[in-house]
C-alpha cells in the first residue's frame, strides 16, 4: 500500500474536502469522520461534503453539523478553496454523486481510500485494498502512518465502520486485523455493547412495519438457493418508513437455510430501482453479477441501479442470477 505517497500528499494540504458514496452507510461515515478527526489532530482543516444526509445507523457520529450535505451553489467556493479532495469507501467519482462529479471536474490533487472492486484508480494517489474489511480499517492504518492522534469520536467512527461492514463481526471479511483494531479501540475506551446498540438497534416502529411488509413479498427461486423480496413505494407509504430504513433488511433475510443469494429490490424517491445483492458462498460473486447491470461493490455484497418498473428490474436480474446457479 502506498501510504507514504498518501502521507506526502496530505501533509502538503491545509484545507482538504472529504467525501464518500451516495446514501452513505456506517462505513462511509465512519471512514470520513475517523479521517477528519485524524487530520485535525495534525493541524489540517478538513470539511466533509456528502451528496446525501446521514442514516439512522450513523447519525450519532455527526457533530457541529458535520458532515454537510452538498449544495452545488452554496459550496462552490468550498470546493474552489480546497487544496485536496479525498474520497473514502468509493472507487469512482460518480459513486459520490453530485459532489464527486464536481470534484472530478476541478482536477485538483486527490486521494482515494477504498476497499471495493475494482481497486480504485481514479485519484492522484489511490490507497485501495479489496482485502480490507472496510474503508474505516484502511483509515485506521492511514492515521497511524500520519502520526495522527485518536479522539473519542474517531474511535467511535472507526469502530462503527468495522461493525457495519462486517455485519457485527459476522461476515467473511471479519479478519484477524478487524479484531485487532477492535481490541485496540476497546482498550482505549470503546464499549462494544453501546456501539452495537447505536449502530444496529436504532430502528423505528415504522421500519419494523416496513420489514414486515417486505417479508410478505418474499419469494424463492432455484430450489430455494435464490431468495428475493421487494420494498415498494406503496409499502413505504403505508408503513410511514423512510428510504434509509431498508438498511440491513437483506442481511436479515440471509439467515434463511439453503439460500445462496439474497436480493432486495426497492423503489427509491428518485424513481429508479435499487437492488441489493448478497452472496452467502465464496463461489458466487455478486460483484460480477452487479457489473452486468452497471453496478458494483464486493464479491459478497453489491448493489445495482435499474430502471422501473420494479417487476421488470426483478426479471432482468433473476434471469442472469439463475444462470449462475444452473
Q: Based on the number of CB atoms within 10 Å of its own CB, is 86 exposed (0-12), middle (13-18) or buried (19 or more)?
A: buried
| Rounded Cα distance, 229 and 246, in Å | 12
89 scored as a contact of Mn ion (CB under 5 A): yes
User: If binding means CB under 5 A, how many residues of this protein chain bind Mn ion?
Assistant: 5
Query: Exactly one of 32, 137, 156, 165 binds Mn ion (CB under 5 A); which one?
Result: 165
| Rounded Cα distance, 166 and 179, in Å | 11
| Rounded Cα distance, 17 and 303, in Å | 26
Is 135 or 182 the residue whose CB approaches ligand 5GP more closely? 135
Stretch that binds Mn ion, among 1-9, 50-58, 81-89, 118-126 (CB under 5 A): 81-89
| Residue 180 CB coordination number (10 Å) | 12
Grid cell listed for 186: 476497546
Rounded to a whole number of angstroms, the minimum distance from the CB of residue 303 to ligand 5GP is: 2
Is 109 or 203 the residue whose CB approaches ligand 5GP more closely? 203
| Rounded Cα distance, 165 and 186, in Å | 18
27 scored as a contact of Mn ion (CB under 5 A): yes
Q: Which does 295 bind (CB under 5 to 8 A by kind): ligand 5GP, Mn ion, none?
A: ligand 5GP
Q: Which does 155 bind (CB under 5 to 8 A by kind): ligand 5GP, Mn ion, none?
A: none
Rounded to a whole number of angstroms, the minimum distance from the CB of residue 8 to Mn ion is: 25
Rounded to a whole number of angstroms, the minimum distance from the CB of residue 305 to Mn ion is: 17
Rounded to a whole number of angstroms, the minimum distance from the CB of residue 24 to ligand 5GP is: 9
Q: What are phi and psi of 87, to 5 degrees?
A: -115, 130
Q: Report the residue closest to ligand 5GP, judged by CB.
A: 303
Rg (CA), the chain: 19
Question: Which residues here bind ligand 5GP, judged by CB under 6 A?
Answer: 21, 95, 116, 276, 295-298, 301-305
Query: Could you tell me how many residues make up the chain?
Result: 326
DSSP conformation letters of 184-244:
HHHHTT--HHHHHHHHHS---HHHHHHHHHHHTT-EEEGGGTEEEEEE-HHHHHHHT--GG
Is 9 or 157 the residue whose CB approaches ligand 5GP more closely? 157
Is 27 or 267 the residue whose CB approaches Mn ion more closely? 27
Is 27 or 37 the residue whose CB approaches Mn ion more closely? 27
3-class state of residue 18 by DSSP: strand
Using CB under 5 A as the criterion, which residues of the chain lie in contact with Mn ion when the complex forms? Answer: 27, 89, 134-135, 165
Amino acid at each position: 500500500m502506498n501510504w507514504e505517497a498518501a502521507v506526502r500528499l496530505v501533509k502538503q494540504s491545509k484545507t482538504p474536502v472529504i467525501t464518500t458514496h451516495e446514501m452513505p452507510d456506517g462505513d462511509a461515515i465512519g471512514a470520513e469522520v475517523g479521517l477528519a478527526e485524524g487530520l485535525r489532530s495534525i493541524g489540517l482543516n478538513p470539511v466533509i461534503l456528502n451528496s446525501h444526509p446521514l442514516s439512522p445507523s450513523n447519525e450519532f457520529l455527526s457533530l457541529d453539523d458535520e458532515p454537510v450535505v452538498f449544495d452545488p451553489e452554496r459550496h462552490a467556493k468550498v470546493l474552489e478553496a480546497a487544496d485536496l479532495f479525498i474520497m473514502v469507501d468509493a472507487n469512482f467519482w460518480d459513486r459520490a454523486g453530485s459532489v464527486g462529479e464536481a470534484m472530478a471536474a476541478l482536477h485538483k490533487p486527490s486521494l482515494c481510500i477504498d476497499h471495493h472492486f475494482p481497486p480504485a484508480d481514479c485519484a492522484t494517489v489511490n490507497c485501495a485494498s479489496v482485502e480490507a474489511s472496510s474503508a474505516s480499517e484502511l483509515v485506521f492504518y492511514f492515521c497511524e502512518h500520519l502520526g495522527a492522534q485518536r479522539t473519542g469520536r474517531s474511535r467511535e467512527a472507526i469502530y462503527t465502520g468495522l461493525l457495519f461492514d462486517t455485519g457485527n463481526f459476522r461476515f467473511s471479511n471479519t479478519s484477524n486485523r478487524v479484531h485487532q483494531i477492535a481490541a485496540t479501540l476497546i482498550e482505549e475506551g470503546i464499549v462494544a455493547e453501546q456501539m452495537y446498540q447505536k449502530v444496529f438497534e436504532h430502528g423505528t416502529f415504522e421500519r419494523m412495519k416496513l420489514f414486515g411488509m417486505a417479508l410478505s413479498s418474499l419469494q424463492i427461486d432455484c430450489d430455494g438457493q435464490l431468495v428475493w423480496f421487494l420494498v415498494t413505494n406503496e409499502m413505504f407509504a403505508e408503513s410511514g418508513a423512510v428510504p434509509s430504513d431498508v438498511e440491513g433488511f437483506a442481511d436479515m433475510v440471509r439467515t434463511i437455510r439453503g439460500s445462496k443469494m439474497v436480493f432486495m429490490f426497492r423503489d427509491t424517491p428518485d424513481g429508479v430501482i435499487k437492488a441489493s445483492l448478497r452472496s452467502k458462498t465464496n463461489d458466487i460473486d455478486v460483484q460480477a453479477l452487479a457489473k452486468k447491470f452497471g453496478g458494483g461493490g464486493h464479491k459478497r455484497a453489491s448493489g445495482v441501479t435499474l430502471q422501473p418498473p420494479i417487476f421488470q428490474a426483478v426479471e432482468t436480474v433473476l434471469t442472469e442470477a439463475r444462470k449462475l446457479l444452473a
